[in-house]
């Protein structure tokens, strides 16, 4: 039968136990040799953070390591250690600017929040764009930069993620006909705001694309039409005038 004295003895005995990890000869050999996955695993098991940091510095300068074989200590070191993170980000930025797809494919394991600031949208290969996108989509505030290069391959991904309605105004301001048509075909809600007023001075093909979706005509839009007509800024006056006439607006308004 247990009693208080027995419990105290057991607790005291456990408090006196000291544990330590002793590296095996195989681990010592691995750590003394080339920096490989095996040596990294040994350092991770033994808690040798300095070795892990050094291994990461060496890893960023070569492409021969399968990212699927990397232990968690690599990504966690990048996230938790400022010096390692700065080193990693420096190489990420260099790879993005130079469109180094192979490096990104084998190294981009921790998303970099500012990575889209270094992407050259006009020249970035779709493979590189997709790789970065899968790690962390481009935010809506980058819409002007994505739209301005008039690349439908990357615009599709952007619209699918953020929604065609939010992207429609941006593409109209850029005067990009193909991009606007994609937003409309993807289901942009032309009643969400007065898109017609944005199209009055644009290419007639843009105005026609929006008008064919039958958005509501507004008094503000009609007044804008009359103003721009008087300033001779409308490329196709009959087209715009017909739209407002069909919706009941006359020059008597």
Q: How confident is the model at residue 27 (pLDDT cuts 50, 70, 90)?
A: confident
DSSP string covering 52-99: HHHHHHHHTT---S-GGG--HHHHHHHHH-HHHHHHHHHHHHHHHHTT
Q: Which two tokens stand for residue 241?
A: 């005038």
**pLDDT at 37 > cutoff 60:** yes
Between the alpha carbon of residue 235 and those of residues 26, 201, 207, 224, 239, the distances in Å are 78, 7, 10, 14, 9
Q: How far apart are CA 210 and CA 208, in angstroms?
A: 5
Per-residue confidence band for 2, with pLDDT thresholds at 50, 70 and 90 = very low
Mean of all residue pLDDT scores within the chain = 90
**Cα–chain center distance at 182:** 20
- List CB contacts of 206: < 8 A, sequence separation 6 or more: 172, 175, 177, 180, 199
pLDDT tens sequence across 6-18: 344 445 454 566 6
pLDDT at 17: 60
pLDDT of residue 18: 64
pLDDT in tens, 51-107: 999 999 999 999 999 999 999 999 999 999 999 999 999 999 999 999 999 999 999
Give the pLDDT score at 94: 97
Average pLDDT over residues 135-143: 95
Of the listed ranges 12-16, 174-178, 180-184, the least confidently predicted one is: 12-16
B/e letters for 196-205, b = 16+ CB within 10 Å, e = fewer, are: bbbbbbbebb
| Per-residue confidence band for 30, with pLDDT thresholds at 50, 70 and 90 | confident
CA gap 224, 198 in Å, rounded: 10
pLDDT of residue 15: 57
* CA pair distance 181, 151, nearest whole angstrom: 13
Over residues 188-224, the pLDDT tens digits come to 999 999 999 999 999 999 999 999 999 999 999 999 9
Other CB atoms within a 10 A radius of the CB of residue 174 amount to: 17
């Amino acid at each position: 039968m247990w009693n208080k004295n027995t419990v105290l003895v057991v607790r005291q005995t456990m408090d006196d136990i000291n544990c330590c990890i002793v590296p095996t000869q195989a681990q010592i050999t691995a750590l003394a040799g080339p920096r490989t996955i095996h040596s990294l695993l040994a350092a991770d098991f033994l808690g040798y953070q300095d070795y892990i940091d050094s291994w990461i510095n060496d890893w960023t300068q070569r492409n021969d390591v399968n990212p699927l074989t990397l232990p968690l200590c690599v990504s966690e070191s990048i996230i938790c250690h400022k010096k390692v993170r700065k080193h990693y980000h420096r190489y990420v930025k260099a790879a993005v600017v130079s469109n180094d797809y192979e490096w990104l494919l084998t190294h981009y394991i921790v998303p970099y929040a500012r990575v889209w600031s270094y992407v050259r949208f006009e020249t970035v290969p779709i493979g590189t764009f997709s790789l970065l996108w899968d790690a962390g989509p481009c935010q809506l505030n980058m819409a002007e930069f994505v739209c301005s290069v008039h690349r439908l391959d990357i615009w599709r991904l952007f619209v699918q993620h953020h929604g065609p309605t939010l992207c429609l105004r941006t593409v109209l301001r850029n005067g990009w006909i193909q991009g606007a048509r994609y937003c409309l075909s993807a289901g942009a809600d032309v009643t969400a705001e007065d898109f017609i007023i944005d199209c009055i001075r644009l290419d007639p093909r843009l105005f026609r694309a929006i008008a064919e979706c039958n958005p509501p005509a507004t008094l503000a839009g009609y007044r804008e039409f009359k103003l721009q007509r008087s300033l001779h800024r409308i490329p196709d006056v009959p087209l715009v005038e017909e739209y407002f006439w069909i919706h009941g607006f006359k020059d008597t308004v």
